[in-house]
Structure 1
């Protein structure tokens, strides 16, 4: 009787929230941006780790002396590696987004990827004297890369599908055909971009950044962060993959923010004063210790045999933030006893986490790590070895225990009574 109202609410939430988000995520352009940015994650991770290694060999980083003095002679060389990865992330993104968007549109992926790259260069061309604005190759130019890639590849698709191309006779090798087919679209599209940028002197990059930077800065706020985490948890609670649902909306911002933080670190900005708080690492040290690890701890000491068995099975995965076994196995999904503490604990812990970073109690994140890295490892490493990140995880975990406890006891009594009746 109690689950029926929840099913009605869930169905309405799916229609209102999940349905539109799924449609947005399946739009070819949105999917290309999401998957293209995901493709750059290895470069972001490796580059930020090299930056962290460089800092270990520098004086006055975490102490008056270098943590690893043996690395000091090579510290600047590690920064070179960081520069060739993180400082060119927009360039890599332009290529990846163009390629994936072309695949989504079912056109020649190589030709489209090269066109996206050439368009990105033209967008960032200043003048004959000044040449390319290489600053835009870093995270600063990430949204320029997105716009230039999507626009150029979409135009390319229109030309191809309307057959505004050079037609080759039968028997010509496919690679030769693709080269000549691309000739007219390349010429017209790149010429149009060149004319707008050079002849009309319209600066694509500065216009895009001037329009988006105020929005980005406003988005990295405690209110937006907490609301997004609430919606993410709510989607999980009704059976949807909340992270995947929200990823197309937030990943372009979080990847840029962690890259900008890393760039600020390389310029000597104090770790607790980096420009951005919201990153994927911050999300994971806030939500899952409170909303999943805490209920998992209660399951270990539960009188319910099935809960204790599931805890044994699910704990190794949960440590690596693979939370599906608990969410769908217990389940937390549409559970009339546990859905409220699940959403509430993760939302409040997100609020507390953002507050702690904004008050500069903890070093801000400048290292990107694989999503499955345990939070107590990612939180410590990504903040440059700040032990306060571990304290914050413990606080979030204990908060989750306090919120879950009365709900869990009610759920446990209900299940024991049901088992006795059966």
Structure 2
């Protein structure tokens, strides 16, 4: 592990993970995730599938009238998923400005205002919801980063109004942002006018056709899913938070895919028929069970191999890690066993997630299991997540159980080898 190439890899990965703009994108998505989950669950409740003789939708229709009660979930959708791009424009700008110790609130508001300037207007002078949501994510990210950098430059220049001492801080910050905000919004307005004159379509359509659509098409493929699973776990093996490092890259690609699945599911389409297989819930529910590395299976393998009457550190770590592992929190086992920089665990820790990615992809591709139509909190335990993420299908649970079984069988030989290595090293 002291190989100079390995050290160089760790150094580069660490720099990427700490890069200011990528961190701002990652934290921007993390900040709005509660709203995304609430919107997802609202649609899931609106379209909850029958459970045998019990039909939740029919019950609610009988109590409150056909479709009346679903207006609540629809309104929640409008305030969350339907304005995802606008939320991200504010959130990323806020986080990036904060990292520069510049007024984050002003930067976020300017970014959101600039985003609205660029959104196409409908014939009745309304904002086009098609571009306020997930389809506008790439514009939101690019705009937030550029406008915040301009705002930072202008604030640090002399183009600001300095208020005398004694003026309330909120008022002072508002006047400080006044001239920079004026310049930035004029620039955005001029850009919008030039795009309309010389291109004839909105910048949203340009970015979507040139960047977002191709990346989403690529992201929905099995090779892309394998690369994501591989890189995530390779980084974790070296003690780097793989999920955070690659999150800022994959979130803008995979979030629109689950949004489209959700939207179609809301419109009455079956979870079997929605278009996209590879989404973030796909990875969370079928690959990262117990956390990265499917470590819930590792804990089970340890309990199978090392009996209760054996005083072995592996079993002690597993006992301490199991409660958190049920909720996909696996730092105790990753750093306690450890898995980090442990050559014995390198192969299963990387190979098992890749294997489960292939199995799960084929199960959804062939129609054995419905596709994902809900975003859940990442701490949702396996089994429950498999049921909810498929819109209420037992097949999601079956796939999770199958995947855990495969992972346990793959982990067992390495747990045996690791336990023997530890015993030989300590002489216990």
Distance 1:110 1:178 in 2: 10
Which residue number corresponds to residue 39 of structure 1? 31
Distance 1:114 1:64 in 2: 50
Say which SS state the counterpart of residue 287 (structure 1) adopts.
coil
Which residue number corresponds to residue 145 of structure 1? 140
The structure 2 residue matched to 1:48, chosen from 40, 55, 73, is: 40
Distance 1:133 1:118 in 2: 15
Q: Is the 8 A contact 2:195 2:203 kept in 1?
A: no
Mean CA deviation greater in 198-207 or 95-104: 198-207
The answer on 1:310 being equivalent to 2:311 is no
Q: Is the 8 A contact 2:36 2:81 kept in 1?
A: yes
Distance 1:363 1:44 in 2: 21
Shift of 1:348: 0.8
The answer on 1:105 being equivalent to 2:96 is no
Query: Structure 1: which 5+ runs fail to align?
Result: 1-6
Shift of 1:169: 4.3
Q: Is the 8 A contact 2:302 2:412 kept in 1?
A: no
1:18-417 superposed matches below 5 A: 18-56=10-48, 66-72=55-61, 73=65, 74-126=69-121, 132-201=127-196, 203-212=202-211, 213-284=213-284, 285-288=286-289, 291-301=294-304, 302-303=306-307, 304-305=310-311, 306-417=313-424
Instruction: Give a deviation string over 1:33-84, Cα, whole Å, max 9, x none.
Output: 111111111111111111111113x8xx788984342222313432222222
Aligned length: 410
Which residue number corresponds to residue 4 of structure 1? none
Moved over 4 A (4+): 61-65, 126-131
Mean CA deviation greater in 41-50 or 102-111: 102-111
Q: Is the 8 A contact 1:120 1:148 kept in 2?
A: yes
Shift of 1:369: 1.3
TM-score of the aligned structures, taking structure 2 as reference length: 0.88
Q: Is the 8 A contact 1:21 1:246 kept in 2?
A: no
Q: Is the 8 A contact 2:82 2:133 kept in 1?
A: yes
**In the superposition, relative to structure 1, how do residues 173 and 323 fare at CA in structure 2: closer, same or farther (>3 Å)?**
closer
**In the superposition, relative to structure 1, how do residues 163 and 384 fare at CA in structure 2: closer, same or farther (>3 Å)?**
same
Say which SS state the counterpart of residue 343 (structure 2) adopts.
coil
**In the superposition, relative to structure 1, how do residues 63 and 264 fare at CA in structure 2: closer, same or farther (>3 Å)?**
farther
Tell me the C-alpha RMSD between the 2 structures: 2.4
Q: Is the 8 A contact 1:291 1:341 kept in 2?
A: no
Q: Is the 8 A contact 2:47 2:268 kept in 1?
A: no
**In the superposition, relative to structure 1, how do residues 366 and 14 fare at CA in structure 2: closer, same or farther (>3 Å)?**
farther
Instruction: Give a deviation string over 1:77-117, Cα, whole Å, max 9, x none.
Output: 32222222211122222221221121112212222111111
Say which SS state the counterpart of residue 334 (structure 1) adopts.
coil
Distance 2:407 2:112 in 1: 47
**In the superposition, relative to structure 1, how do residues 274 and 63 fare at CA in structure 2: closer, same or farther (>3 Å)?**
farther
Shift of 1:218: 0.9
Distance 2:175 2:100 in 1: 20
Shift of 1:408: 2.5
Q: Is the 8 A contact 2:122 2:128 kept in 1?
A: no
Say which SS state the counterpart of residue 272 (structure 1) adopts.
coil
Q: Is the 8 A contact 1:271 1:364 kept in 2?
A: yes
Distance 2:422 2:165 in 1: 72
Distance 1:271 1:128 in 2: 34
Instruction: Give a deviation string over 1:220-272, Cα, whole Å, max 9, x none.
Output: 21101111111111222222222122222212223222222211212233212
Say which SS state the counterpart of residue 374 (structure 1) adopts.
coil
Mean CA deviation greater in 28-37 or 221-230: 28-37
Shift of 1:394: 1.6
Query: Structure 2: which 5+ runs fail to align?
Result: none
Distance 1:198 1:128 in 2: 18
Q: Is the 8 A contact 1:287 1:347 kept in 2?
A: no
Q: Is the 8 A contact 2:389 2:396 kept in 1?
A: no
Mean CA deviation greater in 144-153 or 126-135: 126-135
